[in-house]
Each structure stands twice: as structure tokens, then as C-alpha cells.
Amino acid sequence: MITRRTLLKGMGTAFISLSAARLGLELERRPTVFEEARRAMGGPFRITTVGSDRPHLKSAVKAGFEEVWRLEELMTIYKSESEISRLNIWGEAQLSSESMDILKKSIVFSQATNGAFDVTLGAFENLVVGSDFARFNKQGMSVDLGGIGIGYAVDRIVEALKKMGVKSALVDGGGEVKSIGSKTDGTAWRVGIRNPFQKTGFSRVIALEGASISTSGNYVTSHIIDPRTGRVPEGLASATIIGKDATTADAMSTAVFVLGPEAGLDVIEKTPGLEGLLVTSTGKIIESSGFNQYTV
């Protein structure tokens, strides 16, 4: 016999069970963060992902690192069997679609900056890129993708993550950063721009959602050379560029650093979709006209 008491008791149990089921479902849907750091292309890479399925995020991050390691094998100049090394050794080589893509993009950036960005040692005008090959028109030339390769790799990692269904992530190539979506609370990812004259603190903190940022500078080591003069640029301490993709941000931050404050800012203002923050060698901070839209 079902009495009113047993009916209410049963209803109470059903309600509790239903609440527990809903709670379990909410816990499953609650965002989780999976992050991993590895070394690639001679520097640190960090991939931070957000989602509800931790094992899937782990698989996606693994796919991202496998992509950058694959690109490294194609483009490194430190292994004689890589495609770029074969080009440098023989002066001509058949190349994969990825190597062709990055060389073509490099030439576009060289033309846009009047040679301030140049991946060749010997003038980019002497690099011929065909349908599936590249060659030098001058002896003694070589290619070094150090000023664009990490940004390119960051873009490819992002593509790999998106193919795996990742909706929220931040990929950091040690100076070149790109985001997917927003953070767990729905707000944009925040990235600090280091002040080259301070050991701690930032020149600016920006909100980065579906965009890329890259900073170039010689305040740690003098590794950026003006390809037109062979000398270390002196006008800027750092150049930060925000753009749609990390390849562009990487290459243009290098070029703007070489160009200096006035010419560099002019290039930024004339290039659609590009914004920048420059810190001069005397510590003055210069922002492009639309940079404040990213500032937190």
C-alpha cells in the first residue's frame, strides 16, 4: 500500500536523485584547463586549452606539439637533411607546401617593408619561389626563418587545435602568442607586454580574443640585425605588433624593430588590421592610433 508518507518519501528521493544527476552533469560540463609546455624550434612553447573533456584536451595539445615538431624538421637550419638546409646547401630544392608557403609569405613581408624584413642572407630579390621549388639567383645565399618561423608554427598549432574541436586556447611560442575564443569566465585572454627597462611589470596589458601578438627586441640578446646594413638597430628597445595571425605579427614586429620609431609606426598605420606599441631606446612608449582598443 502506498501511503501519503511513502509517496512523499518517494518523491523526495526522486527529487534528490534528479538533483544529483543534474549536479553530475554540471560538473561534467564545468570548464577544465589542460596546459603543457615543451621546447621546439630552439625555444619554449606553451599550449593552454579549456574545455569539458580533459582527455580530449590532452590529445589536442599533443597534436599541436606534433605539428610544430613536424614543421621544425622541415625548416630548421641546424639539420642538414631539412628542406631549408638542402636549399641552403645546393642553392635549389623541391619543397613541401608548408616551406613554399612560408617563403612566399616572407617575400611579401620583405616587399611591404622595403627589405627591413628579409629571411635571406643575400637580398630577398635573389630568392626565386616557384610552384614546388625554390632557388637562389646568386651564389653564397642562404635562408634563415628565425624571424617568422615561430609565428608560423603558432598559427599551425592553432589550426591543429581547432581541427580537434578546441574552442578556447592560448598558444605561446615564447614571444608570439595567439588565442582561440575566450577564457573560462567568458572574458578575453589577457597578455602582458614586458617593459624592456624593468625586470618585473608590464608596459601594457591587453585583451586578446581571436588575435595574435608578437614582441621583438634586443634587450635580452642582440639577435636582430638590419639586413640592409648588417648592423644592430638602435632606435627601439622593443616592438610589439597585434594582428590577425601570428605569422604576420612575428614578421612585422621584426621589421618594425629594424625600421625604428618613425618609419616603423608609419608601416603599422598603413597596414590594415595591424596595431603596435613601440618602446624607444630612451624608454618612450609610442602607440599606434588603434592600439588602445586592446588595452585593459
Collapse the DSSP code of 225 into the 3-class scheme (helix H, G, I; strand E, B; otherwise coil) and give the result: coil
pLDDT of residue 102: 96
Cell readout for 63 is: 597534436
Residue 135's beta-bridge partner residues?
A: 92, 128
Asked which of 25-39, 177-191, 242-256 is least confident by mean pLDDT, the reply is 25-39
Residue 265 in any domain: the answer is yes
pLDDT of residue 203: 87
pLDDT tens track for 235-245: 999 999 999 99
Residue 235 in any domain: the answer is yes
Answer yes or no: is pLDDT of 249 > 70.
yes
Residue 1 in any domain: the answer is no
Q: Same structural domain for residues 205 and 287?
A: yes
User: Of 238, 258, 234, 243, nearest to 212 (Cα)?
Assistant: 243
Collapse the DSSP code of 159 into the 3-class scheme (helix H, G, I; strand E, B; otherwise coil) and give the result: helix
Mean pLDDT for the stretch of residues 34-54? 93
Average pLDDT, the chain: 87
pLDDT of residue 254: 94
* Burial track 171-210 (b if 16+ CB lie within 10 A, e otherwise): bbbbbbbbbbbbbeeeebbebebbbbeeeeeebbebbbee
Residue 209 in any domain: the answer is yes
- Pick from 114, 129, 144: which residue ends a domain? 144
pLDDT of residue 184: 79
Say if residues 239 and 276 touch (Cβ distance below 8 Å): yes
Q: Same structural domain for residues 195 and 275?
A: yes
Q: Same structural domain for residues 204 and 273?
A: yes
Share of the chain above pLDDT 70, in %: 89
Q: Strands across the sheet with 92-94, in order?
A: 92-94, 133-136, 127-129
Q: Same structural domain for residues 137 and 192?
A: no
Residue 151 in any domain: the answer is no
The domain tally of the chain equals: 2
Q: Same structural domain for residues 207 and 266?
A: yes
Say if residues 123 and 143 touch (Cβ distance below 8 Å): no
Residue 153 in any domain: the answer is no
Answer yes or no: is pLDDT of 4 > 50.
no
pLDDT of residue 178: 96
Which amino acid, one-letter code, is at 56? Answer: H
Q: Same structural domain for residues 222 and 274?
A: yes
Q: How many CA atoms lie within 13 A of 167 on its CB side?
A: 8
Say if residues 97 and 153 touch (Cβ distance below 8 Å): no
Residue 99 in any domain: the answer is yes
Distances (CA, A) of 133 to 29, 46, 98, 138, 240: 48, 32, 12, 16, 33
Domain that holds residue 288: 188-293
Residue 216's beta-bridge partner residues?
A: 239
Residue 40 in any domain: the answer is no
pLDDT tens track for 96-134: 999 999 999 999 999 999 999 999 987 899 999 988 899
Distances (CA, A) of 11 to 3, 16, 158: 12, 9, 49
pLDDT tens track for 207-237: 998 899 999 987 655 578 878 877 888 899 9
pTM of structure: 0.86
Q: Same structural domain for residues 124 and 202?
A: no
